[in-house]
Amino acid sequence: MAKITRRLLPKSKPTPPQRVKKSRNRAAAGQGREKSAKKPATKPVPARATKKPIKAIKPWTPAEVREAFSRFRTANPEPKGELEHLNPYTLLVAVVLSAQATDAGVNKATRELFRVADTPQKMLALGEQKLRDYIKTIGLYRNKAKNVIALSEKLIAEFGGEVPRTRAELESLPGAGRKTANVVLNMAYGEHTMAVDTHVFRVANRTGLAPGNTPLEVELGLERVVPAEFKLHAHHWLILHGRYTCLARKPRCEVCLINDLCRWPEKTV
């Protein structure tokens, strides 16, 4: 039997491990980390424009205030309120009805009403339901009818059927607030009060005559700056100016009597 011999293969030298350049790998790893750390690209947000500080409105001088009201007096020496009335009671009722309504709309309803009910006694005799029929064209007429009946009852029960002459007593009546009291005191009894409605509030703030954040602030501001000789008619002049000239949306600066005195930065003259 033939002898089998095994040939031993020469041992191959182990291949040395590949050297990895650490600097490159580290750099690549670093780049990988940087890429993964980067947030997705977003559109650049434009920087917000910084608001310019509002310049303080220069207060009116006493001479300017006097000049403004002198012009109003020359143009309209005896201004009248536009709410139609026959006596202090009908004036009170008209002002209560005028809340959130126009004077023209109130007058349209009260012309017929006051022919049949111009005293608290007659108003109670008319009754709430029939009163509603007269004033149903006025906003919030149901609630206003309740207030008119209630204030009529209180006038008879506590004031002998007469409209009181003090602000506190007037404000105690249903439906009557500070503005209502000021209107009645001024128009019925000649008191130097400042009734601030939406027109007066706008004119006082826009012109810088008596700026304020609330009607009361404007009222007190007007009382401070308006000379005594103009106080009786001051709020009527301002109401009419706001209603027909210094309009809310498109003020008529070109025909304004006081456009040279007005502090409004957006005036068109």
List active site positions.
179, 197
* 8 Å CB contact between 83 and 103: yes
If residue 119 lies in a helix (H) or strand (E), which one and from where to where? none
CA distance 139 to 19: 93
Helices (H), 86-189: 88-97, 103-116, 120-126, 128-135, 141-159, 167-171, 178-189
Number of other residues whose CB lies within 10 A of the CB of residue 194: 22
If residue 9 lies in a helix (H) or strand (E), which one and from where to where? none
